[in-house]
Amino acid sequence: MKSRGRRTMNRNFAFLLYPKTSLAAILLANAVLVDSSHAQTTITLGETGQLSSADNGNANYLLADGPYHLSQPAVVNSLSFWVDNAAGQLELGIFDSGPNNDCKGGNLKAHTNAFTTNASSWNTAKPASPVTLAPGNYCLAYLPSDNNLSFRKGTSTGINNVYVPLQFGPMPTTFATNPSGGDGFHWSLYATLTPTITLGETRLLGYADNGNANYLLADGPYYLSTSAVVNNVNLWVDNAAGQLELGIFDAGPNNNCKGGKLRAQTNPFNTQASSWNTAAPASPATLAPGNYCLAYLPSDNNLSFRKGITTGLNNTYFPLQFGPMPATFAANPSGGDGFHWSLYATLTPGTAVPVISLNPSNPSLPANAAKGTVVATIQVKMSDGSAFTGVLGFGTPYENDNATFTISGNKLIVNPSGPGLSADANTTQEVTVVAQQ
């Protein structure tokens, strides 16, 4: 049952009962999201209309149209291409619009895997790997394998096309610099994206910095106004050397990047020169509203990057051998010279949901247990680490097993007013516990 404006999670638990013996609680299912009150806003980039002119015969050509302007950072959810007659396979992609903003010589930013086409429908596929686009101009591309594939095209002021012969297969990292095209047509082809939040410094700052190997360095604090899922963390690198880890700590008890808890970290990765070095968190991370500090840990003193000064931001650092980041940032680090780095995180707005567990995780209970006996403590936390302040209850499909069990505070107990367990020996008892924030 859905309830507007509330977030609910449920878990199913089974209890196998034997006469006068202990029993194990068996977890039947992981937590399932029943309802989420947060509706994310999506934006489109490209042509969402079914244009009027038929087109086909473009097998083994890479074709692109644009440019289309993206006004804010966004995560690419999918690419869609209208198909009239299905034939063969198709790949879709996004390139930046190139040095002259004309879809020539642009870098590949996102691409789908090859997929089989479907007739009279939008053919939609996700990027082969997660992609966040910075604000800027982009061109949408497609690569068909069969000349019998047919689709739609039309004209629109300011939009044009380019194309180049390319055997069906992976898209190139850079679009051709001297392709054909320019007849004014574009296709029914678009991308959907979810706007992101940036936390940190997205500019290329003016001062060079290096020599920080085997130090954990952080800057901030940066304020996050809403719960959000961390997509990636980014550090600008001038000269690449060694490996790098990136992370996010809360701002600590005094909001100064000292003594904060680790909230997200990347795995180590090899650095790349003259670019934003981007990595996703090693495990999913949702941040609650609050203040955070961004951190980096390099392995090589020859790695160089950018720093600058902004009012209200500062840095902290302490020696740390390259490896996993600590659970808590040092309480008395060095720093405080007013600099911060070209270092930021991108996040997608999202509502935290309750996560349920039992303590003990495998509770035991004899079949002759008295009414009122505690089965387990129900533990609930929010997915962003914040406190659960909602209510517990029972839900579908198993409810409270015909009133055999009830919840008292945060305890799952044998119902004092229920039928008891004596008639349930050698059977499996099942309940569904629901947490609603």
Residues 272 and 329 in one domain: yes
CATH number for the domain harbouring residue 288 = 2.60.120
Residue 255 lies in a domain: yes
How would you classify residue 419: left for phi > 0, otherwise alpha for psi between -120 and 50, otherwise beta? alpha
pLDDT given at position 384: 66
Q: Does residue 2 belong to any structural domain of this protein?
A: no
> Is 260 a member of any domain?
yes
Q: What is the largest CA-CA distance in the chain?
A: 83
Residues 17 and 150 in one domain: no
CA distances from 384 to 78, 177, 228, 250, 387 (A): 26, 45, 8, 12, 9
Shared domain check, 167 and 69:
yes
* 1 domain residue, yes or no: no
CB contact at 8 A, 47 and 156: yes
Residue 403 lies inside a defined structural domain of this protein:
yes
Last residue of a domain, one of 139, 168, 195: 195
Closest by CA to 228, choosing from 75, 2, 126, is 75
pLDDT: which is higher, 73 or 340: 340
State the distance between the two ends of the chain, measured CA to CA, in whole angstroms. 14
For 122-169, the pLDDT digits (tens) are 999 999 988 889 889 999 999 999 999 999 999 989 999 999 999 999
Range of the domain at 409: 8-37+354-436
β-strand 243-250 against 339-341: which pairing, if any? unpaired
Q: Do the bridges between strand 43-46 and strand 61-70 make them parallel or antiparallel, or are there none, so unpaired?
A: unpaired
Digit-coded pLDDT (tens) for 89-109: 999 999 999 999 999 999 999
Whether 162 and 180 have beta carbons less than 8 Å apart is answered as yes
H or E element that contains 210: strand 207-210
Q: 160 and 104 in one domain?
A: yes
Structural domain total, the chain: 3
Same domain? For 155 and 51 the reply is: yes
For residues 276 and 298, state if they share a domain: yes
Q: Confidence class of residue 83 from pLDDT cuts 50, 70 and 90?
A: very high
Residues 177 and 302 in one domain: no
Domain stops at, among 163, 195, 227: 195
**Stated pTM of the model:** 0.57
Residue in this structure with the two tokens 């949408």, named with its chain if needed: 140
Give yes or no: residues 219 and 207 share one domain. Answer: yes
Question: Is there a single domain that holds both residue 177 and residue 238?
Answer: no
C-beta of residue 196 within 8 angstroms of C-beta of residue 132: yes
Q: Measured in whole angstroms, how far is the alpha carbon of residue 151 from the centre of its chain?
A: 32
Across the chain, mean pLDDT equals 88
What is the full DSSP assignment across 307-332? EEE-TT-EEEEEE--SSSPPSB--SS
Q: Considering the domain boundaries, does residue 18 fall inside one?
A: yes
Q: How many residues does the chain have?
A: 437
**Tens of pLDDT, residues 260-300:** 999 999 999 999 999 999 999 998 888 989 999 999 999 99
pLDDT of residue 32: 26
Structural domain contains residue 389: yes
Rounded to an integer, the average pLDDT of 421-432 is 74
Same domain, 118 and 88: yes
Same domain for 204 and 188: no
Output the six-digit token pair for 209.
């910095």
Out of 324, 349, 374, a domain closes at 349
What would the pLDDT profile of 215-252 be if each residue is shown by its tens digit?
Answer: 999 999 999 998 898 989 999 999 999 999 999 999 99
Lowest mean pLDDT among 190-194, 201-205, 206-210, 418-422: 418-422
Residue 3 lies in a domain: no
Same domain for 24 and 48: no
